[in-house]
Structure 1
């Protein structure tokens, strides 16, 4: 109870200082160009009428705005659906102090930080995120939904599910005395060692109000443990998680670097594979057959590979994993695209700095993924992964999540770094008349 109250206090205090967005109303967006997420094409001038948080009409050209609609001129800009990042951790951000902070900071500290990270993410053009692991984030989601603080729409996993010693075991790195005092974590803390434990862990996430289930199917890069790719669930355990999640209407995202762990997760029916570093031809074939989405998180791979060169940034048990695994993800994404594996957008932000999420587009294009496909991965594809049909495209009846940037990002992907207009559900958070908070 103390943990929840501290989080609520932090979010409430941050709300008092938050700058309000423009009130929701009737707006006519006059876009010089419009990205059609279904076709991947950039169209000419369009006017988008927004009312009560929804897109009411989309008209070619720039006709005089209908009576009662406030015009917003977006000259020289391309409008497109607000982006979705399918893999973030809004409750944290990597630094050399990250490992010690886990022992020194309270949930209230992480909650205050999360409010700022959410605001940066929204203002960068990401109107929706899927937060794959963090106990603070479900509370942040609720505060955003209630209008207390600005931020993207959040699909929150809550605590990731792991096995003992696995990538999301919260006691990794504890000394024997601390481990003895706290006792071994169990399903309530997201650590399982049987199919029965697996079912209990999913039900606990349901009880806590999660929106999606996250598992760590293999070892990971940043956990305080030696292996970065070994499988960490039995076939029965993964199947029990997926089956129970399905009963509750959940999708399952599987963190996975190693081939065997990925294979078990795909065969069990997970919705997405995150990272996928050592993905081989067999796994790619299975993913195509079963419609399993791939979320590469190239940004995180490059970030940790770079930071592994800095002495002291990571503990020595982490450093070789970061140097080896991180450097491979971009090449895996390139091979997966060529093999026809369906790709959706995710960064693992929280590993790198929040608000810089759009750099993932640059890395995708650098890997040989066409710019139009990369943009679809963060719009239409991401909505499909989330299982929603009211966002990801600019069409009548959809949520009015619309962003704009100077230039044409299909012609020059670098334009994604210049987002200067952000609307979420009809409210303008960045654009004309909105005071900057950078």
Structure 2
């Protein structure tokens, strides 16, 4: 057994206690004691630094490395899986030890991590986001071509659905494929070509059966929900977390408080789109326009949710922006309260 002592650092333990000077003893990769006067085979001097637990990023895309659609069209099918190796390591090096992949990673990526074949944070996978036709996950273009951000394959089924029965089948397919969490788009989005982030998607009956099937399998549901109506249909039917939450009104915030629903703001996401556009990444004018349009409402909604006491979890949408910049999100969140 290898024992390593991280000595003399200012320890922030995440419990709400004030940070204090202490030693952290690790044995075979597991923290076994925090205190003073501890002993170990190897000692790392942490004087002048802050020692804190690994952080959680609740919304990443480890198979995305930006959203340059022209580049993606010319990238071999298997290449993003190799990019994921780099993205996972970069995320871990940032201090993120747990992530929830919000579409992209499949069971093979998760199993490779579990088996120790690759390095990275602990990973929950949603595999692919459920969307209605013309919704946030539909890659149909005006020219008639379909250019999804992620191609289907035997471990990543098609997730465009338009009825209660189709919804039930696709949720079951995702669970069969190894999903730890189900993701659904209950509104339009910024990056999708043919929708509007202010418009709600799916009806109550469709979302109700989604949650019913996920619950039966012991799986939670996360909702890409930017529009007010899309947020409310998600909360009303028992979805556990709202991703983005750009157009929260007072009623939606009250519903979240009553239901105990989490908000994952991803404040970094629209900013990342604008940074890419400014750097010359080719991007449709509509996407750039939508990213600019949502910024003020997004910040206002998150600020009011924080003030009201809504439960907040950090999520970055990394993969839209660069992996490794995850902690920028904490600064943005702190700036809103």
Q: Is the TM-score greater than 0.5?
A: yes
1-structure distance, mates of 2:182, 2:314: 18
User: Which residue of 2 is the match for residue 28 of structure 1?
Assistant: 5
- Pick one of 4, 20, 27 that aligns with 1:51: 27
- Pick one of 24, 39, 44 that aligns with 1:65: 39
User: Which residue of 2 is the match for residue 100 of structure 1?
Assistant: 70
Paired residues of 1:229 and 1:256 also in contact (CA < 8 A): no
Q: Does 1:74 align with 2:42?
A: no
- Pick one of 80, 92, 97 that aligns with 1:127: 97
Q: Compute the displacement of 1:141 (Å).
A: 2.1
User: Which residue of 1 is the match for residue 199 of structure 2?
Assistant: 230
Q: Compute the displacement of 1:64 (Å).
A: 4.4
Could you say what secondary structure the match of 1:94 adopts?
coil
Unaligned runs of 5+ in 2: 148-155
User: Which residue of 2 is the match for residue 183 of structure 1?
Assistant: none
1-structure distance, mates of 2:248, 2:103: 23
Paired residues of 1:213 and 1:245 also in contact (CA < 8 A): yes
Structure 1 consecutive aligned stretches of length 4 or more whose deviation exceeds 6 Å = none
User: Which residue of 1 is the match for residue 83 of structure 2?
Assistant: 113
- Pick one of 352, 364, 377 that aligns with 2:333: 364
Q: Compute the displacement of 1:108 (Å).
A: 1.2
Could you say what secondary structure the match of 2:48 adopts?
strand
2-structure distance, mates of 1:343, 1:313: 33
Could you say what secondary structure the match of 2:49 adopts?
strand
1-structure distance, mates of 2:146, 2:260: 43
Check 1:327–1:260 CA distance in 2 against 1; reply closer, same or farther (3 A cut).
Answer: same
User: Which residue of 2 is the match for residue 182 of structure 1?
Assistant: none
Unaligned runs of 5+ in 1: 1-23, 180-186, 370-438
Paired residues of 1:31 and 1:79 also in contact (CA < 8 A): no
Could you say what secondary structure the match of 1:356 adopts?
coil
1:361-412 Cα offsets, whole Å, 9 max, x none, are 1111222x2xxxxxxxxxxxxxxxxxxxxxxxxxxxxxxxxxxxxxxxxxxx
Q: Compute the displacement of 1:30 (Å).
A: 1.5
For residues 117-156 of structure 1, what are the structure 2 equivalents within 5 Å? 117-134=87-104, 136-156=105-125
2-structure distance, mates of 1:304, 1:167: 16
Check 1:51–1:266 CA distance in 2 against 1; reply closer, same or farther (3 A cut).
Answer: same
User: Which residue of 2 is the match for residue 273 of structure 1?
Assistant: 242
User: Which residue of 1 is the match for residue 141 of structure 2?
Assistant: 173
Paired residues of 1:90 and 1:118 also in contact (CA < 8 A): yes
For residues 247-262 of structure 1, what are the structure 2 equivalents within 5 Å? 247-262=216-231
Q: Compute the displacement of 1:44 (Å).
A: 1.6
1:261-308 Cα offsets, whole Å, 9 max, x none, are 100000111110000001010000000000000000111122224445
Check 1:305–1:278 CA distance in 2 against 1; reply closer, same or farther (3 A cut).
Answer: farther
2-structure distance, mates of 1:312, 1:117: 20
Paired residues of 1:91 and 1:113 also in contact (CA < 8 A): yes
Could you say what secondary structure the match of 2:100 adopts?
strand
Paired residues of 2:106 and 2:178 also in contact (CA < 8 A): no
For residues 393-412 of structure 1, what are the structure 2 equivalents within 5 Å? none
**Alignment RMSD (CA, Å):** 2.2
Check 1:178–1:360 CA distance in 2 against 1; reply closer, same or farther (3 A cut).
Answer: closer
For residues 151-162 of structure 1, what are the structure 2 equivalents within 5 Å? 151-162=120-131
Paired residues of 1:144 and 1:151 also in contact (CA < 8 A): yes
User: Which residue of 1 is the match for residue 271 of structure 2?
Assistant: 302
| Alignment coverage as a number of residue pairs | 330
2-structure distance, mates of 1:105, 1:307: 19
1:231-255 Cα offsets, whole Å, 9 max, x none, are 1111011111111101111111101
Paired residues of 2:55 and 2:97 also in contact (CA < 8 A): yes
1-structure distance, mates of 2:266, 2:144: 34
Q: Compute the displacement of 1:317 (Å).
A: 2.7
- Pick one of 12, 15, 33 that aligns with 1:38: 15
Q: Compute the displacement of 1:310 (Å).
A: 6.4
Could you say what secondary structure the match of 2:310 adopts?
coil
